[in-house]
Amino acid sequence: MTLLTSVNMIGADFNIDTLTIDSKILSESRMILIFTPTGLKKTDSVSILYMLDGEFSKYRFEKIVDNNIIQIIGIGIINTNRRKDLLQVNQANNFNTFIEKELIPIIESKYLIHERVLFGHSFGGAFTIYSMINKPALFNKYIASSPIPIMNLIDKEIYQQLDELLPTNIKFYLSYGSKDMQQVKKWASRLIKNLLSLKTNRFNWTSQVFEGENHNTSDIISIIKGLRF
């Protein structure tokens, strides 16, 4: 694995660093964006927010800063083939392993970590749920915004088993818009119904439906609310 030279750019209230990882797991180079609030010290305890669909991570992180969420570093994972990475029927397992084995060790070697968070919207929201189920407690918090497709990820037995396997407490935040895609609303509401029927100890979750929001507008509200959960 090769870490290439970072290129630093200046954002409004944060710095943006670009690095490239020569991934052996994915057999390709992957570009990563790192958003660091100005004034943050290496001795500060921080949350690390890993954002799927990194192409949209800059405007999402800007909204995080605008909402006065501090002591957080954003990581935007740029796509090469979105469907290949994020859909479980393709190579989601490889992408999940890349995050665990290659990305996280590089990023977190430089910081004092308070909390590790994964955020995904749409396909990324479905991958967030997939990651939570398949690598329990890799993250402290999972934020799934308007997830699709999640048909085989809604069974309550999966979450009961997840709760039993967890070595520590995790948080799961699920949301979508009232004007979201019908498939999102159908399956997310079924998942919520199944979760409501469970009693869990270490698996802590909540959900919200954002009135008036659609599939293209629900991501920012979700990420802000999810970080505050």
The 10s digit of each residue's pLDDT in 78-120 is 999 999 999 998 999 999 999 999 999 999 887 888 899 999 9
Q: What CATH number is attached to the domain comprising 30?
A: 3.40.50.1820
Per-residue pLDDT, 116: 96
Domain count, the chain: 1
Radius of gyration of the chain (CA): 17
Top pLDDT among 130 and 109 is at 130
CB 122 within 8 A of CB 152: no
Beta-strand ranges (E) seen in the chain are: 2-3, 7-10, 14-23, 28-37, 45-51, 72-77, 112-121, 141-145, 170-179, 203-214
Beta bridge partners of residue 121, listed in sequence order: 145
Q: 16 lies in which domain range? A: 2-228
Tokens of 86: 């994020």
Residue 10 has pLDDT above 50, yes or no: yes
Q: List, in order, residues 6 or more apart from 118 with CB less than 8 Å away.
A: 50, 52, 128, 131, 132, 138, 139, 141, 142, 143
Enter the pTM of the model. 0.94
